[in-house]
Chain A
């Protein structure tokens, strides 16, 4: 069966380019939509052009990489989505998500990175084609480099095409993963840290050979970090070591490496004087973020009354203070947290680990589809619609008829327990199974009725 996909049209008024004129290099990233205010999303002089160029290249690389290639895909490695840029207040964020749905990268250019001429609020895709990547590789620190995202008029790149248009089928799982990874980050905690010297040593020492699904952990060793193959207290899991190798060249400039984890996935944050680069990797190379199901509960609960009110407060803020919003809206902080999680599934907020808070951005995709086509949720709704759920309020056990099998869902101290194979394998580590979701939906409907 063909995977469900969202047809998306990238249309840029010009191809992203680097142009040199006199002592100034213009690094022009084409955007596929217009900013809310002004002619650019952002325009300013890069203070460390070489470093910024390398970081941008890394963002682009994640977008065009499959870190895990299923056997059936070996001969058709597809180029998928372009990076997404969000500008607003004092920073510019570049996000990308790998084609395998298991690696998310974000570059935050902070206040000091740009002598900003203009930073307008908004989110857009940016063209990061082959020509742009080649040009970025040439940027040096001796140049005066002006970065701009978007433009007021069609610009002509050196002798090449004047417009870029690509239609891609963005798989639903890719879109799901992109939003799911925000919820994953929200559940992470800082675990380990190393300074620049130790970070470089650690990353250089990572094995070159592919380790596949071999379980490994990163642990503190003296002042630095080391890769271990047994779990110890405080260690950060790392399966698919090759996925973090991308950080090795970037660490050259980094002052610190900080690792976050939720016990399964991990986030790797490189700090620079005026920028941060975050790489979030899924629990296993073959396990994309799309299947994690952390947001399923929020999606199933649907129209929370707090949602539109919280949404109205977003205003392109680079740091959404949950307590402040709670106070402003006279709601409990937990309700704000849940609402932000739900907004994350709609692509309206991302999570910034360094700030420990969500930030506003609006992914330029139609994410209603994601919500409506989440396989487990769809299956659960179908079960409810078929009347397959039998709530046993007196026994504390619900029965869900699925095909010729009746699954029993029980509420225990460890949460909902189901008799299906999904639950037997994953417990509640990857979100609820469709039967638990169906019971939850039926129960909500019963309560409302």
Chain B
């Protein structure tokens, strides 16, 4: 057969026909056909892919579908030819050849090339996807059994799709394979697995935990050694696999219900697990050791030599269980009292007051006050104990109680606005302008860099030295690379970095610039400003942008603006933007200078600076901006640029998106720095929608950044945003909100009662439920917006998170502690009925702060709410303690 004959055959015949035709050819003859087979396989694969994604609106959609189907079919035939002729390296160049297990298996079985014996090892080293083919070839005795991790992991698959379809329907099938039982089975306890293939995943998403069930049954029937299985589970736990995957091994070990004798035999392994980094594994080991201890088989000195990491475990329950175990050891062996007391003393700094209380009880009962080293240890660790518990410890140490922390210091006055903290970088030459634009494109994370880049291009775009193209080439080449061969339409507002690249290309090419996006969203406003500069750059028409900030955070000195306006005629969006950024200080002087600014812009500028409203004033964007600038408030009601839904939900996330959203939001903040209430309203809603981090909206914390500025008042929406973010799950949102709170207390912007009322509003808010988010994600955002407008929550507020973040803020200083105490007290006014299940930590923090600041609860409304808590639970006990403390304190 010649390559041309093969090509004709592939184009017309079936895979079976091709294999039949090649049957009887020698390896040499087959190899001569391989290059043609490989070329055909690649060709048909490419043809199939090119037609795979079809625009259904095209009139020829049916034809395209038929072509894709035909190409796919021919690809299968070409693969058959390649399998029957290719060398290992030729097959490796078209991996898809192995995807059709039946065909590949049949072709290779019939051909039986000399290298077939090692093929499974090679394929499994490449990808687990080839497991079904390799499994078939290995079981048929055609291939040597592979040893790679992929090979072992492939055995886990059964039933459902895991990147491939396993021919095995249930794990039970494997247990009849003695090699698997002796080899791969135990390797599976040594390999952590992947995000798809692991014992945990396969059992979790299959009915009846098939792997665990099969292993338990085999162990019970003696098909696999029970002792080895017990050891293997413990060894797996010792490997510190991630918590999600480690849990399966602990469950299996528990399900094996080891006897006391079996546990004693594995005592060393359990003890080692006490130091595991995986909290549930520590808890698991404690349970096992407790069982051994109950049987009287746990040597106390051995336990005490290993228990320290468990006693200091972060989880309260684990730490308490470990302390109790240590205490019982001391009870059995009194000579170990000092060791036990030392273990307890190390726990005095635990985060949970319950653990501290237990530790204090052990220290005071078993500790020796004459043991100087021990007393020194207790004294050192006592600093970490809760205010309510410290007196007991100090009493044991024979030391006076520390005085209450200092009284709050007076609040600092808020800083004035607009003062430049550092000179803003502006271009001084054409080279500078190019550098600034290149930097803005590459770093793309600061609003002022964007402004600097626009300013530079606008002012220097008229300079065209002889080597101008040479100067700009590195930038335009890079811009072209970023945009790619098929750039999306520019200036739509959803890719500001791409818009900057388009600006760079426009600057170099003199080509006409495309139209702007038509939507009146904040994004298109920003993109439109880039476009205005791009139009000028393409036409080499330089100007001084009026809107370039002179100060941090977007402010423009009124005098500078007036001078700029005397020298330049602004483009429409530049004009609007410049008015919205006028700083509060210096307006009279700016007004005087602006008296000669010509045209409608001049009239609007004078009005914005406090001058009279001109007769020609209209309802245009320019005049609405002037009015907003003049009044410095409520931009949205007048100038509806903030009507954009910002980012309440998103179906995808990647680095590009993350950078774009982050930069867009930082830039939006500088559009109207005088009033960010609407921005905070959107931010609060965004955070409320994603309180439980159901979507990877990394940029949401950017909403909080302006709140760090001392000139930004904590008005209603800002407080709502702050209160919500303090309850948010993502560490960055909660952490930044804590930073804001600390800062706002420091500079006197925060008022405990006002912020407390925002907490009250959230506590009392109705719950819309996460279903509305789902509606929004499929394009039906009405329910979500309606819920947010009605101030409803999507997820319930977690009081425990509030407690954690507020505790962090309270630690900053006595003043912060007093503030947080007052804040929580005020927030308790909003306690709903029934109270949140996790209210306890908030009450515990309040109690600590009341004791620490020697100030009882005073708010009658909050006291009345607490008085309604009854029962014997920890929360009710805390409430009673708070109420009882009050009169006496």
Name A's B-contacting residues (CB within 8 A).
50, 54, 74-75, 134, 137-138, 140-142, 196-198, 200-201, 204-205, 207, 209, 211-212, 214, 216, 221-222, 224, 226-230, 241, 249, 252, 404-408, 410, 417, 419-421, 424-425
Contact = CB atoms under 8 A, between A and B. Distances in A.
B323 interface: no
Given A138-B272, A252-B346, A417-B435, A230 B813 contact: no
- Chain B interface size band reads 35 or more
B73 to A, nearest CB: 32
A200 B349 contact: yes
A205 B813 contact: no
B309 A249 contact: yes
Given A197-B384, A405-B477, A252 B309 contact: yes
A226 B441 CA distance: 34
A79 B697 CA distance: 34
Contacts of B182: none
Contacts of A198: 384
A140 B698 contact: no
Contact of B443 (A407, A419, A425): A425
Given A141-B305, A142-B301, A229 B732 contact: yes
Contact of A214 (B443, B698, B808, B813): B698
Contacts of B238: 134, 137
B408 interface: no
Contact of A421 (B195, B301, B305, B438): B438
B882 interface: no
Contact of A204 (B351, B438, B731): B351
Nearest to B440: A424
B471 A205 contact: no
Given A74-B194, A197-B383, A425-B443, A216 B735 contact: yes
B381 to A, nearest CB: 6
Contact of B351 (A201, A212, A406): A201
Nearest to B477: A405
A424 B442 contact: yes
A407 B732 contact: no
B53 interface: no
A404 B474 CA distance: 9
18 contacts: A74-B195, A137-B275, A138-B268, A138-B271, A142-B301, A142-B305, A198-B384, A205-B351, A212-B698, A221-B808, A222-B813, A229-B739, A404-B477, A406-B474, A410-B431, A419-B434, A419-B474, A421-B474
Interface string B382-408: 011000000000000000000000000
B265 to A, nearest CB: 15
Given A201-B384, A417-B435, 4 more contacts: A209-B693, A227-B735, A228-B735, A230-B739
B308 interface: yes
Interface string B146-167: 0000100000000000000000
Nearest to A207: B731
B204 interface: no
A405 B473 contact: yes
Interface in B463-479: 470-471, 473-475, 477-478
Nearest 4 interchain pairs by C-beta = A207-B731, A425-B442, A424-B438, A229-B736
B483 to A, nearest CB: 14
B800 to A, nearest CB: 14
A424 B439 contact: yes
A421 B442 contact: yes
Nearest to B238: A134
Interface string B715-744: 000000000000001111001101100010
Contacts of B351: 201, 204-205
Contacts of A140: 305-306
A386 to B, nearest CB: 18
Contact of B731 (A75, A211, A221, A222): A211
Contacts of B813: 222
B272 A134 contact: yes
Contacts of B435: 417, 419, 424
A408 B432 CA distance: 12
B380 A196 contact: yes
Contacts of B271: 138
Interface of A is mostly: mixed
A411 to B, nearest CB: 13
A293 B306 CA distance: 44
B149 to A, nearest CB: 8
A36 to B, nearest CB: 36
A18 to B, nearest CB: 12
Contacts of B92: none
B621 interface: no
Nearest to A223: B383
B427 to A, nearest CB: 13
A303 B777 CA distance: 63
Contacts of A249: 275, 277, 309
A50 to B, nearest CB: 8
B424 interface: no
A343 to B, nearest CB: 34
B708 interface: yes
B638 interface: no
Contacts of A134: 238, 272
Contact of A230 (B275, B708, B811, B812): B708
Nearest to A228: B739
A198 to B, nearest CB: 8
Contacts of B312: 200, 252
B705 interface: yes
A406 B470 contact: yes
Given A209-B731, A216-B732, A421 B349 contact: no
A137 B272 contact: yes
Nearest to A224: B811
Contact of A211 (B277, B470, B732): B732
Interface string B264-284: 000010011001010000000
Contact of A406 (B308, B309, B473): B473
Contact of A197 (B128, B308, B349): B349
A142 B474 CA distance: 67
Nearest to B734: A207
Contacts of A196: 380
Contacts of B346: 252
B808 A226 contact: yes
A142 to B, nearest CB: 6
A272 B813 CA distance: 29
Nearest to B476: A405
A50 B808 CA distance: 33
A6 B732 CA distance: 40
A75 B191 CA distance: 11
A137 B441 CA distance: 51
Interface in B734-767: 735-736, 738-739, 743
A205 B380 CA distance: 19
Contacts of B381: 197
B81 interface: no
Contacts of B349: 197, 200-201
Contacts of A200: 312, 349, 384
Contacts of B736: 229-230
A209 B730 contact: yes
B732 A214 contact: yes
Contacts of B731: 207, 209, 211, 214, 227, 241
Contacts of B735: 207, 216, 227-229
